[in-house]
Amino acid sequence: MQYDEAIAYIASRWEDELVVTSAGTTSELWHAETGDTERVFYLEASMSLSSVFACGIAQGVGDKPVWVFSGDGAFCMNPGMLQVERQMNLPNLKHFMVSNRVYGSTSNVPLPGRVDNDYPAIARGFGIERVYSFGSMNELTATFDEAVLEEGHTFIHLEVEPMDYRGASPPMDGPEVKFRFGRYVERVTGNQIFTAPLDHD
Amino acid sequence: MDSNLEASVRSAARSVETGYSAEVAQEIVDNCVDAGISLVASLPDDWIAHSIASFEQDERINHVPVNREESALGLCSGAFLAGTGSAALMGASGLMTLVYGITKINYTYEIPLFFLITHRGTFDDGAKFHVSNGLYLEDVMKSINLPYTIINSRDEMPMIGEAYHHSRKISRPTVAVLPKKLLQGKV
Ligand SMILES: Cc1ncc(C[n+]2csc(CCOP(=O)(O)OP(=O)(O)O)c2C)c(N)n1
Ligand SMILES: [Mg+2]
């Protein structure tokens, strides 16, 4: 499966889910595909923390769905993230793990373990119950509704080809990403983020 | 296997046997709750085993034990964007692993985060392997302009709430440092 085709398809199915992208190609492609600057937190600054960051969001937004992307390089840095995800077991969290077997956005440097890593097995090994693995567009499109739209914490492994891609980062400084996303969450959930009172007395 | 709750109760009992105060642990929880914290992510250091158990057993808190301290940073940073007040509870060693996460996530996006950490490496710390924290912890926090306050006695416990609210005010992380004698109920 081609990386950009998979992302384009997922973006075409996007409705009102909150989205968190990871450092690397997922941020660049999702921004190139959607141009969105409100409902997406482009967590470009750090590898391996997108899914726990998304857990923090998902636990506080009721039943609003949260889609989070991680790259395989980022995932391998902190596979224990699945222990946290499993324990929190948030029914509104869908974790798309994009495996291109390389550190894509750093010029496709090969990943250690690229031949052997079995990501669905790792996810099951941490006790994740809803695990899907898609290696082709046919599989992804045929089973998308069951994997992504049905309730339940889900780990979705997407096996894609490395691509020669050097996209631009979303053109926003960190605080703008925070405020645009946070204000959107405030608007749709009624939660107080920036408007929370500061004094505790 | 026993439940998480049973395991937590046993860990708390063990912590009391080794000299740590159940009352102080409860005061830490109460101060966090009073400040508006409802989510706590933790990874242990021996000194805070009872605090972790007290958070786990308190129904006002969603306590999430994490696999590594970076995950606590990620989780609490995300929780901010859902409007959930949170704290990341860990040892000094845990904080020392977080220079990258703090500077790259919290400083880049200006996301507040409240840390509760142990004051390892002080003169009353019997562990030789914490000498590094004694030498470098405070200097590392200063070098990345990370504001911290040391809770020197139970009278100063309200500083927990102040440190938490300060992080919201400045849109950056802050740290409340918990000394051994405080956690033992001696000061
Ligand atoms: C802790 C850390 N180490 C290294 C980097 C540099 N870096 C940024 S993106 C990236 C590659 C990401 O690879 P992967 O997660 O597999 O995503 P892909 O682009 O392949 O989808 C690297 C190494 C970083 N941002 N953070
Ligand atoms: Mg990759």
- CATH number of the domain that residue B65 is part of: 3.40.50.970
| Per-residue pLDDT band at A24 (split at 50, 70, 90) | confident
Two tokens, residue B12: 């708390």
Q: Does A128 touch chain B (CB under 8 A)?
A: no
Give the residue numbers spanning the domain of A179.
3-189
Instruction: Give how far B126 is from chain A: nearest CA, Å.
Output: 31
In a domain, A201, yes or no: no
Q: What is the pTM of this model?
A: 0.96
Considering the domain boundaries, does residue A197 fall inside one?
Answer: no
With respect to residue A195, please indicate whether it lies within any of the assigned structural domains. no
Q: Tell me if A97 is assigned to some domain.
A: yes
CA distances from residue B104 to A43, A128, B70, B172 in whole angstroms, order as listed: 10, 29, 12, 12
Check CB contact under 8 Å for A59 and B65.
no
CATH code of the domain containing A104:
3.40.50.970
Q: What is the structure's pLDDT at A199? A: 67
Examine residue A199 and state whether it is found in any structural domain, yes or no.
no
- Looking at the predicted complex, does its ipTM rise above 0.90? yes
The torsion angle over the Cα atoms of residues A75, A80, A82 and A88, rounded to 10 degrees, is -140
Cβ contact, residue pair A200, B83, below 8 Å: no
The chain A residue lying nearest B86, using CA atoms, is A56
Distance B74 CA to ligand 2 centre (A): 20
Residue A200, pLDDT > 70, answer: no
User: Best interface-test mutation with B: which of A18, A22, A53 has the largest number of B CBs within 10 A?
Assistant: A53
| A194 inside domain | no
Task: Count the domains in chain A.
Answer: 1
DSSP per-residue codes, A75-134: HHH-TTHHHHHHHH--TTEEEEEEE-SEEGGGTTEEPTTTTT--HHHHHHHTT-SEEEEE
Q: How confident is the model at residue B30 (pLDDT cuts 50, 70, 90)?
A: very high
CB atoms B108 and A43 under 8 Å: no
Of the listed ligands, the closest to the CA of A101 is 2
Distances in whole angstroms, Cα of residue A160 to Cα of each of A97, A119, A169 = 10, 13, 21
- Does residue A133 belong to any structural domain of this protein? yes
pLDDT digits (tens, 9 = 90+) for A83-108: 999 999 999 999 999 999 999 999 99
What pLDDT digit, counting tens, does each position of A182-194 carry? 999 999 999 999 9
List the structure tokens of B103: 């500077």
Beta strands in chain B (DSSP E): 39-42, 62-65, 86-90, 113-118, 148-150, 173-178
Our count of domains for chain B comes to 1
3-state class (DSSP) for residue A27: helix
Domain that holds residue B77: 4-183
Give the chain A residue whose CA is nearest to the CA of B34.
A200
